[in-house]
Each structure stands twice: as structure tokens, then as C-alpha cells.
Amino acid sequence: MSTSSRIGREMRGAASYHAGIAAEDQVSQLYDRTGRAVIHRRWRGSIGEIDLIAREGETVVFIEVKKSSSHALAAEHLTHGQIQRIMATASEFVGGEPNGQNTDMRFDVALVDAMGRIEIIENALAA
């Protein structure tokens, strides 16, 4: 592989990383503004990472943020393997909660398009 193609790939990777961070910032601010306090960002367990964790009353809300040029394309980036890791990591997180595995929880997906518009799909990973 040529040096220029390696550098180009690294630059695209860095741009995607920073776009993802910006999308998480936007979604975090939206949850905070609507009374659902974000309590963790990029929480890492032994199995994986959860982008955002918020509280809505007694409910712990796990939020996966996906950014792409459109909401539809962003949704397509969520894979079965990611869903499995998110659920396993959430289980690890609630293990430290007072009610443990009996903690009321919900899994939301936040889709962010190229214009910065956010679509929240609440309880997206149910069933």
C-alpha cells in the first residue's frame, strides 16, 4: 500500500471518529435538554462500550448513536453483533445498580444525519 493511500485512510478514519464524537455531543445535549440526564459517555465494560447512558426517572437508558449522510443509512450501520455487545455491556452496567438485573432499562438508538438532525428511536432494541 502506498504512503498516500495509507495517509488518506487515516485521515478519513480520524474524520469519522470526530464526526461520531460530535454526534454523541449533540445527542447528549438533546437528552439533557429534555430532562433525561446523561450520566455516562462512552462507558466501557469488559465486553464493549455504550455510547451514552442516561436516566429517565428510575429507568436507565442505553443509547447507541449512529451517524451517516441520512437517518436510513445510519440505521443500517447497527449490526446484530453490535446489538449483542450493547445488551451484554448493559447487563454488566446494571450489575452495579441497586436493583441489579431487575433495573428498569431501555435501549434507544439515536440517528444523526449529515445536517445534524437527530431521530431518536426509543426502545429500539425491544423484542
Range of the domain at 56: 3-121
Residue count of the chain: 127
Residue 124: per-residue pLDDT: 92
CATH of the domain at 68: 3.40.1350.10
Q: How many structural domains does the chain have?
A: 1
Q: Identify whether 58 is part of a domain.
A: yes
**DSSP H stretches of helix in 34-112:** 71-76, 80-94
Tens digits of residue pLDDT in 36-63:
999 999 999 999 999 999 999 999 999 9
Residue 20: per-residue pLDDT: 77
Q: Identify whether 127 is part of a domain.
A: no
Residue 102: per-residue pLDDT: 93
Do 25 and 69 contact (CB within 8 A), yes or no? no
Residues in the chain with pLDDT values less than 50: none
Q: Identify whether 126 is part of a domain.
A: no
Residue 102 DSSP label: G
